[in-house]
Amino acid sequence: MAAKPVVLLVGITGMMGDKIASAILDKGKMDLIAIVRPNSSNNASKQQRLDEFKARGVVIVEGDLLDKPSLFKACEGVEAIVSAANASANDKIMVEGQTNLIEAAEAKGVKRMIPSDYSVDYRKLDWGDNYNLDLRQKVFNILEQSNLSYTLILNGCFTEILFSPYLQVFDFEAGTFNYWGDGETVFDTTTTDDTAKYVAEAIADPEMANAALEIAGDVISMKQTLATYQQVTGKKLNVKHLGSVADLESWIEQKKTDRFVSQ
C-alpha cells in the first residue's frame, strides 16, 4: 500500500491545533507530524492530550518556530504544513516564526502551507485597519512569493468567540449586551469544529492549492445574535448602545495610546 502524504502541524497543544489534528486523523487520508515546544509537554493536561494523539499515530517532534534548525529537521519528508500557531502578545512568533517555517519548508521541498489565519478576509482591508490582520497579510505576502503553494482558511469570527469576554459584547455577569454602531451589519461566523473539518478537507484537496477557502457557518448581525440567544435561553439581557462606529474608532485609538504610554 502506498504511504500516505505527511502533514506537519504547528500548534497541536493549542485550541485550534487540537481540533485540526483530530479532524485530519478522522479523515484518515494523511499522516500527521506535530511540532511541540520542549516546555509544552511540562504541562500535565497538554502531555495527556499529546499521549492520546501519539496513540492515534501522530509523531511528535520537538521544535519551535524561533528555532530554525528544528524546523528544517521537522520538514523532512513533509508534503504540506498546517500552522495553528498563536502568540497574540508576540508578533515575532507569528511573523518571524512562520517566515522561518516557510524558509525551512521551501528548502525541504514541502508543497503547500496553510498559515495561521482562521480569520476574516484580510486581503480586502487597507494596511493599518487592523493590527492583527496586518500580521496575517505580512505572512501571506511572504508565502505568496515563496515556492510553496498556499491555502487560506477564511472563516470570519469563530462562533464561540461571539459570546466570550474577549469580544466584550455579551457580558453575562453584568447581564448586558453591549454594541457599537447600529448592530445590524452582518458578518461571517463559523464554529471552531466546522473550521477544523474544513482545514482537514482543504489540505487533502489538490484543487485548494493557491486558493482561499472562504467559509461561513452563518452570516448574522449582532442584534440577530442577541435575538437568537434570548430566544434559545429564554433569558433577557439589558441592551447597552456604546456609541457610533466613529465613537468606536476613537475608543480604539485611545486604547492604542493608553497601551503605548503604559509600555
Ligand X SMILES: NC(=O)c1ccc[n+]([C@@H]2O[C@H](COP(=O)([O-])OP(=O)(O)OC[C@H]3O[C@@H](n4cnc5c(N)ncnc54)[C@H](OP(=O)(O)O)[C@@H]3O)[C@@H](O)[C@H]2O)c1
Among 24, 58, 82, 93, binds ligand X (CB under 6 A): 93
- Interacting residues with ligand X between 153 and 182 (CB under 6 A): 157-158, 161
Q: Which among 15-23, 169-177, 231-239, 243-251 is the span making contact with ligand X, rule CB under 6 A?
A: 15-23
66 in contact with ligand X (CB under 6 A):
yes
- Interacting residues with ligand X between 101 and 140 (CB under 6 A): 116, 118-119
Q: How far apart are CA 108 and CA 74, in angstroms?
A: 9
Specify the length of the chain in residues: 263
Three-class secondary structure of residue 87 per DSSP: coil
Comparing CB distances to ligand X, the nearer of 88 and 238 is 88
| Helix extents (H) in the chain | 15-27, 44-55, 68-74, 91, 98-107, 131-145, 159-162, 192-203, 222-233, 245-262
Q: Which among 35-43, 176-184, 196-204, 229-237 is the span making contact with ligand X, rule CB under 6 A?
A: 35-43
Q: Which pairing describes strands 176-180 and 170-171: parallel, antiparallel, or unpaired? A: antiparallel
Ordered DSSP codes for 96-127: IIHHHHHHHHHHTT--EEE-S--SS-GGGSPT
146 in contact with ligand X (CB under 6 A):
no
Which residues of this chain interact with ligand X, rule CB under 6 A? 10-11, 13-17, 35, 37, 40, 46, 64-66, 84-87, 93, 97, 116, 118-119, 157-158, 161
